């Protein structure tokens, strides 16, 4: 399979929700940010028995101006106090991610950062974990939990999170334990409805979930601020169009935080092969009832079940219409299919839409490949095995610039677009 590099727009701690700086970045602020995270990771050394502070790039997505805490082995880097200023090449996608560039691994974070200190540190520490996770033994894996876009998948995830909200806010140990048990009941019942889903969910939780737990713990919030943080992020999460790639930012950190009250270094006991659900149940000494269905029915009302069922039934009807429109656009109507060679992609994980057998629609996505750059603003269909992407038919071809409804493509000179007259579709080919 061709090499694929995937980056994710980590926007769950949205700067819009937490307050932004002005779009004009002040270099002195950047110096302060580097100093803050350097101090925070030093204080949090014991979490992973390692100082996570490493190479960082802070980049303005509008201008591509970047600020780094280390020289990037590039003559364009200009030193400013204890930082460096340069410009990110167009071939590098901008996202909150771990990036290999110029022979080094960087934690890349988009500007502006939040005005809130704890949110800033949380995000920076999250991405620094991604830079270090290979050394810590955690392989990056972001399988899509497509079942979480189905009605029952969403319902029982929401019920689990409602139970976790009550658990994290409970000061009485017995009460907290009851809500934790209910959360795990909803989780196990959900997994029973979708065979194989437990493994898929676990993969993302070991990646983004552990990264976000690291961010929460390094941020240094006190107990009350941590409670408020969890409630706020879950309530915002519920408003996301989809949960497929973003649920783990909310589940693992809460289970992990509650675990940390018992064992602050529990995370050092797990590996890339750990089943986190089994681990949490064992360490918290929680046993689940044999008849999950009956128990779920009995406890659902306590966790806002009636409203959740109503909202998800309405959403399911709406999604059916949306999927029908996308099937028409990317299958029935003339379209263009683009095969990948050496692809690097960034997208927002909060608004994707899985379509059975066809793949997943990404409303916004940017792809850089050997053939050039594709920038999509209103939908493209990613194949299930990530070897190609489909967009609507081209409406304008001017030299190496190709445009369609809601997308634009800048091709390198050795590539061109060809129309299949028999099917009325288009494809990308390499010139002979």
Same domain assignment for residues 158 and 43: no
Residue 354: pLDDT band by 50, 70, 90 thresholds? very high
Q: Is 367's pLDDT higher than 60?
A: yes
Model pLDDT, residue 213: 98
- Average pLDDT value for residue range 42-60: 97
Indicate the residue among 104, 132, 160 that finishes a domain.
132
Neighbours of 195 (CB within 10 A): 9
Instruction: Quote the CA–CA distance of 236 and 37 in Å, as a whole number.
Output: 25
Model pLDDT, residue 73: 60
207 domain residue, yes or no: yes
Q: Is 142's pLDDT higher than 80?
A: no
Model pLDDT, residue 23: 55
Which domain covers residue 217, as residue numbers?
146-303
- Average pLDDT value for residue range 120-134: 97
Same domain assignment for residues 413 and 295: no
Cβ(289)–Cβ(185) under 8 Å? yes
Q: Is 19's pLDDT higher than 60?
A: no
Range from 29-38, 63-72, 187-196, 230-239 carrying the lowest mean pLDDT: 63-72
Same domain assignment for residues 150 and 128: no
Model pLDDT, residue 432: 81
Same domain assignment for residues 162 and 125: no
Same domain assignment for residues 354 and 277: no
Burial degree of 94 (CB within 10 A; 0-12, 13-18, 19+)? buried
What is the tally of structural domains in the chain? 3
Q: Is 250's pLDDT higher than 70?
A: yes
Q: Is 3's pLDDT higher than 50?
A: no
Q: Is 12's pLDDT higher than 50?
A: no
Instruction: Quote the CA–CA distance of 288 and 353 in Å, as a whole number.
Output: 33
Residue-wise pLDDT tens digits, 266-316: 999 999 999 999 999 999 999 999 999 999 999 999 999 999 999 999 999
Model pLDDT, residue 29: 93
Instruction: Quote the CA–CA distance of 242 and 250 in Å, as a whole number.
Output: 14
Indicate the residue among 303, 326, 346 that finishes a domain.
303
Residues 6+ away with beta carbon under 8 Å from 161 = 183, 234, 237, 238, 250, 251
Indicate the residue among 280, 303, 326 that finishes a domain.
303
151 domain residue, yes or no: yes
293 domain residue, yes or no: yes
Give the mean pLDDT of the chain: 92
pLDDT-above-90 percentage for the chain? 85
In this structure, what are the phi and psi dihedrals at residue 381, rounded to the nearest 5 degrees? Answer: -100, 115
Same domain assignment for residues 79 and 160: no
Residue 369: pLDDT band by 50, 70, 90 thresholds? very high
Same domain assignment for residues 175 and 254: yes
Q: Is 193's pLDDT higher than 70?
A: yes
Model pLDDT, residue 13: 33
Instruction: Quote the CA–CA distance of 211 and 251 in Å, as a whole number.
Output: 12
Cβ(407)–Cβ(376) under 8 Å? yes
């Amino acid at each position: 399979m061709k090499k694929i590099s995937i980056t994710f727009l980590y926007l769950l701690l949205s700067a819009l929700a937490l307050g932004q700086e002005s779009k004009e970045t002040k270099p002195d602020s950047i110096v302060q940010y580097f100093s803050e995270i350097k101090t925070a990771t030093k204080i949090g050394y014991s979490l992973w028995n390692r100082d996570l502070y490493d190479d960082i790039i802070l980049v303005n997505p509008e201008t591509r101006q970047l600020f780094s805490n280390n020289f990037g082995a590039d003559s364009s880097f200009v030193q400013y106090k204890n930082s460096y200023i340069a410009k990110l090449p167009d071939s590098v996608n901008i996202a909150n991610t771990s990036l290999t560039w110029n022979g080094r691994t960087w934690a890349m974070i988009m500007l502006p950062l939040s005005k809130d200190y704890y949110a800033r540190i949380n995000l920076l520490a999250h991405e620094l974990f991604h830079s270090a996770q290979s050394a810590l033994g955690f392989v990056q894996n972001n399988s899509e939990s497509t079942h979480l876009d189905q009605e029952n998948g969403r319902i029982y995830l929401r019920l689990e999170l409602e139970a976790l909200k009550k658990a994290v806010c409970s000061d009485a140990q017995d009460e907290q334990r009851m809500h934790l048990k209910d959360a795990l009941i909803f989780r196990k019942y959900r997994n029973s409805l979708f065979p194989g889903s437990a493994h898929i969910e676990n993969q993302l939780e070991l990646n983004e979930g552990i990264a976000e737990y690291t961010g929460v713990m390094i941020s240094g919030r006190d107990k009350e601020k941590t409670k408020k943080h969890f409630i706020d992020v879950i309530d915002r999460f519920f408003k996301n169009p989809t949960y497929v790639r973003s649920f783990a930012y909310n589940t693992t950190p809460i289970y992990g935080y509650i675990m940390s009250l018992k064992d602050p270094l529990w995370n050092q006991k797990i590996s890339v092969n750990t089943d986190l659900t089994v681990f949490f149940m064992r360490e918290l000494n929680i046993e689940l009832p044999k008849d999950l269905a009956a128990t779920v029915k009995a406890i659902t009302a306590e966790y806002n079940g009636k409203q959740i069922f109503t909202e998800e039934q309405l959403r399911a009807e709406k999604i059916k219409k949306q999927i029908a429109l996308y099937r028409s656009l990317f299958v029935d109507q003339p379209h263009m299919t683009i095969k990948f060679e050496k692809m690097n992609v960034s997208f927002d994980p909060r608004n994707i839409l899985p379509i059975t057998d066809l793949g997943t629609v990404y409303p916004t996505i940017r792809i850089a490949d050997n053939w050039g750059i594709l920038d999509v603003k209103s939908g493209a269909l990613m194949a299930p095995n990530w070897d190609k992407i489909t967009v609507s038919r081209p409406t304008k071809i001017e030299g190496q610039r190709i445009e369609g409804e809601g997308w634009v493509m800048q091709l390198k000179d050795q590539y061109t677009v060809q129309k299949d007259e028999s099917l009325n579709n288009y494809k990308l080919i390499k010139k002979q």
